[in-house]
Amino acid sequence: MTEPAADLLRRDADAARADLEDRFSGLLQFGTAGLRGALGGGPHRMNRAVVIRAASGLADYLLGELEGATPAPRVVVGYDARHNSHRFALDTAAVMTAVGIEVLLLPRPLPTPVLASAVLRFDADAGVMVTASHNPPRDNGYKVYLGGRIVTDAGQGAQIVPPADTAIAAEIARVPSVASVPRAPSGWTTLGEDVVEEYARTAAAVAPGGDADARARLKVVLTPLHGVGGALTKDVLAKAGFGDVTLVAEQAEPDPDFPTVAFPNPEEPGATDLAIALAASLRADLVVAVDPDADRCAVAVLDPRAHVPARGPETPQADGWRMLTGDEVGALLGSDAAARVRAEGAAPGATPTLACSIVSSRLLAAVAADAGLRFASTLTGFKWIARVDELVFGYEEALGYCVDPAHVRDKDGISAAVRVCDLAARLAADGRTLIDALDDLARAHGLHATGQVSARYADLSRIGATMATLREAPPSELAGSPVVEVVDLAAGTDDDRGGLPPTDGLRLLTADGTRVVVRPSGTEPKVKAYLEVIVPVASDADRAALDAAHHRARGRLDHLAHDVRVALGIDVP
């Protein structure tokens, strides 16, 4: 979907001039997220010329790293159903085949986890996934994985990290012109459906055994938000024994225009309204939403504490349903993973590890300690989480979960959905729910409540200025508690959760355990603040005591959010 020149000409002159200046402001930069940007003409947009140049640079990087080695580098290429994804995948295959690289092309538009699993299955030296995940319809992207002979440690099959991103970017910059890049008319291998079937088999097997009757009784509403995950997620759930799964009809088929959602991100308000309304009408047990490339998973449940009025006449029975946060799902799946390790036992000398990003809740660390497991905190992004040694489960608060690192060294919304449904079915067999399981975690470790505040800037220079101001004069008090620790993450860390390499950010801790992590967004013109408060809960707390703890947590989070907005210079009502 490239904007026609006529549409550009019809714009206001100043807006059109600004758009043209941005399109030609330089090359779209290749980094640890690969490429991602709006479709359109110009070197600062996603288009065939930019993709051909990127594919050529990546090919040169692989050939250089494996110079003299045989056989030739092997690359798996996948794509979703966004505008131009298939074309970009074919261009990548043509460029790499022309220089002698073996290319395996996925058979059709498929979720990102299928590509990530194929990189490991075929022992590929690299993988390319053409997707913009949950970005708006106007965007597309180019995600790169490394493995095979390029990466041989715990990062095998994971997304790129420094210095590989810099080295690939340098090769892209050396491409003299798009016209100079050779492209083969054919010669790559298009994989068969067996690659999808193998992924489905392993994804369904992440929760072996289980009560077949309880799984059959679990009533699930599923939405892929117009992405490529609908049919495959439903098939995987069926293979795992969850047969009562209803797709949201309006969002079931891939549609690159995402017509029923303003923003195809399950975190965004309104994105799951149709699914929740359907769940309420069907009296379902839970809602599962996967984002458009199905690498993230969101869950909604009926919560007796949630009495949020429906948004409009289209959701008349949605009162009481709410989306679980990424931290809540991460804690549930992490606790379940720890229980599995305890039940199955660890191999002699092994140190099974739970991991999450530095901006995610500290609850997973408490779960790991209680289970006698190692815990690792990483920089933001699954490119870092996936590299943790002996990982058995990892997550980040932005709805990403890795439940099967042996087969997918990345976040995977489909296998996560299987684990969530398995946990919900086991609880339901005992007359309990996911909310009850969260209450158990609160009794064991205190109620960890998280939230977020963000400041968006039109002037990108204000991002650096905001971070500089915070470093020079951090707040002395947050939510009524004195700040007792300020850690500049730009210097790296070396604490009891393991050292972290330098990253642009600040971590603030108050006397009552409240924590705030502030960092610039890696994908948007924002500064984000990740908030967490912990409210003590007695080990024998009843429902009334838990309700009171939630009320206190909401109040403290509101107070904290106000203070953080002041610190970030955001207008406060």
Angle among Cα 78, 145, 505 to the nearest 5 degrees reads: 125
Which residues share a beta bridge with 535? 447
Helices (H) and strands (E) in the chain, counts: 17, 24
Look at the block and give the residue holding tokens 């080695």.
69
Q: Are 112 and 295 in contact (CB under 8 A)?
A: yes
Pairing of strands 126-130, 74-79: parallel
Look at the block and give the residue holding tokens 């020079």.
472
Q: Spell out where 273-330 has E strands.
A: 286-290, 297-302, 321-323
208: left (phi over 0), alpha (psi -120 to 50) or beta: beta
Rounded distance, CA 351 to CA 331, Å?
19
Q: How far is CA 353 from CA 103, 347, 386, in A?
A: 34, 13, 11
Task: State yes or no: is 133 an active-site residue.
Answer: yes
Rounded distance, CA 339 to CA 441, Å?
13
Rounded distance, CA 518 to CA 497, Å?
19
Rounded distance, CA 437 to CA 257, Å?
38
* Both structure tokens of 233: 């997620």
Cα torsion through 80, 391, 200, 279, rounded to 10? -80
Give the gyration radius of the chain's Cα atoms: 24
3-state helix, strand, coil in the chain (%, to 5): 35, 20, 40
Burial class (CB in 10 A: 0-12, 13-18, 19+), 7: exposed
Nearest to 401 by CA among 342, 327, 315: 327
* Both structure tokens of 155: 């990062």
Burial class (CB in 10 A: 0-12, 13-18, 19+), 562: middle
Per-residue HEC secondary structure of 137-171 comes to CCEEEEEEEECCCCCCCCCCCEECCCCHHHHHHHH
Look at the block and give the residue holding tokens 């913009």.
132
Residue among 56, 85, 117, 133 flagged as catalytic: 133
Measured in Å, how far apart are the chain's first and last C-alpha atoms? 40
Residues contacting residue 16 through CB under 8 Å, at least 6 positions apart: 8, 9
Q: Are 96 and 66 in contact (CB under 8 A)?
A: no
Catalytic residues, by residue number, are: 133
